[in-house]
Structure 1
Amino acid sequence: MTSQIPVVVAGALGRMGTEVVTAVVNSGDCELVGAIDNTPGKEGFDVGVEMGLKDLGVAVTADFEGCLCAVSQSARNSDQRAVLVDFTHPSVVFEHTRTAIAYGIHPVIGTTGLNSDQLSDLTEFSTKASMGGAVIPNFSVGMVLLQQAAAAAARFYNNAELIELHHNCKADAPSGTCIKTAELMEDLGKSFNQAEVDEYESLSGSRGGLRESGLRLHSLRLPGLVAHQEVIFGALGETYTLRHDTIDRSAYMAGVLLTVRKVGSLKQLVYGLERLI
């Protein structure tokens, strides 16, 4: 029998973190061994009790590096290396990923906000350490399918804009998922949205964020939303719209668990769920 995969969840009491904790506990082949969260007044309390579940025997801690160090030491006696699932904040995600690799813990990063230079640095660092990891802007299989469809459609349309809509507690804009979609469309090496008029904005930012390829990305933040994305292509006499709606965060859990199960076989950092399915 193969032992369970030890999993640490960072951001354990957040919207995504609580979903991940529940999924890990109910998975059958994963074991929750750490719960990191800096919510005031929660340190030392059992994460399961704080979530309204049963006592899970895992106390909440705000000490990120201390938790990883302890898990790394205990995992040496297991035939499974530990995995960190991180849903925290863009300001700390780079250091979290690098620290996990340094401690021999496979990072599975759902936090967005890493830039291209940081991704390159982490990929090089993970390759030198022969430590697999995954940066996944979106864990939804449906979103992966949308991104592949958008990349295919980009071959036939020269005009396209992207719109992403999220809850108003999301810190970064545009979303990592939207950026990833644009990158896949840009793999063709073509330019989009050739100017037809001398455009100007009477209100700065009205036309969204402009990428070097000519693609424009628009971000909406409103309470009541979860995560949504549209890619709209236009041509003479027609438009073609791709849209994905996340109704509940539980939609991401199949992708999270798939990544947790596969990341141990990787030897470097990969970017995007499509690399694993």
Structure 2
Amino acid sequence: MADETRALRVVVAGAAGRMGTTTVQALALDPDFEIVCAVDRAHAGESLRAVAGPKAPDIPIREKFGVSVDETKPDVLIDFTTHASAVEHAASALRRGVAPVIGATGLTQHDIAELKLLSEETGVPGIYVPNFAIGAVLMMRFAEMAARWLPDVEILEMHHDRKLDAPSGTAILTADLIAESRKCVPTPPVTQNLKVEGARGGVYKDIPIHSVRLPGLVAHQAVLFGGKGELLTIRHDSLDRSSFMEGVKIALRNVRKLQGFVVGLDKILFKS
């Protein structure tokens, strides 16, 4: 267990990516954190300061995760790599006593189950966070509440055109929460003439999800609940990546206090 009186030692994986550099810049300005290691295979050997900006520590970006962690001894991991790399890094971190915070998207139920099992075996906690924005976490909580009374619902999620997966992890988690909360599954609307295949979106747990990918977008989601004579829309918009940074810091500060491997920042924000 790390000394609570000193700065939290952090390894940033995917440090040269868009979320990675934003995270490096945010942590570098906060005395509660010390970036001791940066991993990014595409930029290995380069200076983190040269890649992420003048406030970043002047340390080399490394290629291999496990060896780098062994040498730099971080307390926590923040990972914004790809799905496959993030799962590999999280497992490696858990085996080394480093608590992982996974922000990479696309983890499957199988991935999560495996990480939960490994967390139990090692006694090291961790968290997978589909969305670090505080407003997005509140949106999901409000949608969970609304589903008890308005079971007819569809989800519209919109992201930038470089996002690799669809639907988003936020949409999947929102649908999971709604499915657990609503008291009944409504009869789906009758579509007599589906002129374009997929026009009604993909269906997950009896909830239609519509994914939009366009340049100019960052991360946006609207949850639409229909009732007799009314429509309730719960919407969140991330206008730039700075919206995620407070959630990243909250996750890093609290991940080692968790029990096991959990999913969602709400497990920290709403912990009683």
- TM-score band by shorter chain is over 0.9
User: What is the distance in 1 between the residues matched to 2:152 and 2:56?
Assistant: 54
3-state SS, counterpart of residue 276 of structure 1: helix
Instruction: Quote the offset at 1:29 in angstroms.
Output: 1.3
Q: Which of residues 206, 216, 219 in structure 2 aligns to 1:224? A: 216
Q: TM-score, normalised by structure 1?
A: 0.91
162-171 or 198-207, which deviates more: 198-207
> Percent of counterpart pairs with the same letter?
39
User: What is the distance in 1 between the residues matched to 2:253 and 2:78?
Assistant: 12
Residue 78 of structure 1 aligns with which residue? none
Runs of 5+ unmatched residues, structure 1: 76-80
State yes or no: 1:117 paired with 2:110: yes
Q: Which of residues 87, 96, 109 in structure 2 aligns to 1:94? A: 87
User: What is the distance in 2 between the residues matched to 1:29 and 1:198?
Assistant: 55
Residue 237 of structure 1 aligns with which residue? 229
One-letter code aligned to 1:117: H
User: What is the distance in 1 between the residues matched to 2:21 and 2:192?
Assistant: 46
User: What is the distance in 2 between the residues matched to 1:132 and 1:17?
Assistant: 22
User: What is the distance in 1 between the residues matched to 2:93 and 2:192?
Assistant: 46
86-95 or 197-206, which deviates more: 197-206
224-233 or 24-33, which deviates more: 24-33
State yes or no: 1:163 paired with 2:166: no
CA contact (8 A) 1:158 1:191 kept: yes
Q: What is the RMSD computed on CA atoms of the aligned residues?
A: 1.7
Instruction: Quote the offset at 1:82 in angstroms.
Output: 1.3
3-state SS, counterpart of residue 44 of structure 1: coil
One-letter code aligned to 1:106: A
State yes or no: 1:250 paired with 2:250: no
One-letter code aligned to 1:3: R
CA contact (8 A) 1:192 1:215 kept: no
Name the CA shift for 1:270/1:19 in 2 (closer, same or farther; >3 Å).
Answer: same
User: What is the distance in 2 between the residues matched to 1:55 and 1:157?
Assistant: 47
3-state SS, counterpart of residue 91 of structure 2: helix
Residue 251 of structure 2 aligns with which residue? 259
Cα-to-partner distance string for 1:51-102 (whole Å, 9 max, x where unaligned): 231562311112122212223xxx3xxxxx6111001112322212111111
Runs of 5+ unmatched residues, structure 2: none
Q: TM-score, normalised by structure 2?
A: 0.92
Alignment of 1:8-23 (within 5 A): 8-23=11-26
Name the CA shift for 1:55/1:256 in 2 (closer, same or farther; >3 Å).
Answer: closer
CA contact (8 A) 1:209 1:218 kept: yes
Residue 50 of structure 1 aligns with which residue? 51
Cα-to-partner distance string for 1:190-215 (whole Å, 9 max, x where unaligned): 44441342555332221111123x11
Instruction: Quote the offset at 1:275 in angstroms.
Output: 0.7
One-letter code aligned to 2:82: H
